[in-house]
Amino acid sequence: MFVPSLLAESRPAVLWDLIQQNPLGALVVGGDDQLDANHLPFEAVPTANVVRTHISRANELARRPNDNALVIFQGPNHYISPGWQPGRQKHGRVAPSWNYAVVHIYGRLRLIEEQDWLLRHLDALADPHEAERRDPWKVAAAPLDFVDGLIKRIIGIEIQVERMVGKSQACQQYNDSTRDGVVAGLLAEGTARAALMADVVRDAAKPKA
């Protein structure tokens, strides 16, 4: 991924937070002949520097232990209109762009068949999304024969993070007045997606610790 220094995001807490807030990753493996991509929900474990997921045993990945892998996590993204930039009225030398935040993780596939690991992993995947529900789902709540059949059909994947690359394209190249115009334009859209990108633009303008 091409990452100009102005757009580089290297703060671990920010990168892990993006993954946890956007857990559907594109897992890409392959050699010179052909690349293969699978879209999978991931459990992020910053304290262990790993990400975890699972696949069907019928998936070709189940026969590729130790493959070199790239996982792409897509965070907030939004179209940026030239109409939000003061320069459109002053000189017209503006163009549309697209803001986005992404994290790329590099490592190797470790395949895991241990039943207890898979049970813990399934709960860990669901817990963030079930925690606030009136009757949260847990693996233990499902019939035993169903769980046994489920575990037999899947295999776990753990990737130790060897390298993590973040990029946030969020109007860093603009001056304060242009950024303010973009933030105002995004908020005027009135959508949660646009409001989230407005937060990203504001955060990108702050000095990085």
- Helices H / strands E in the chain, number of each: 6, 9
pLDDT tens digits, one per residue of 46-73: 999 999 999 999 999 999 999 999 999 9
The full set of domains in the chain, from first to last, is 7-77+99-174 (2.30.110.10)
Single-letter code of the amino acid located at 192: A
* Each residue's pLDDT tens digit, 149-197: 999 999 999 999 999 999 999 999 999 999 999 999 999 999 999 999 9
Task: Read off the pLDDT of each residue in 29-43 and give the average, rounded to a whole number.
Answer: 88
Q: What value does the mean pLDDT take over residues 26-47?
A: 91
pLDDT at 32: 65
Region at 8 (left for phi over 0; alpha for psi -120 to 50; beta for the rest): beta
Beta strands in the chain (DSSP E): 8-9, 24-30, 35-41, 43-45, 50-56, 68-80, 97-112, 154-160, 163-169
In the chain, pLDDT over 90 holds for what percent of residues?
A: 85
Residue 29 has pLDDT above 90, yes or no: yes
Phi, psi of 132 (to 5 degrees): -95, 5
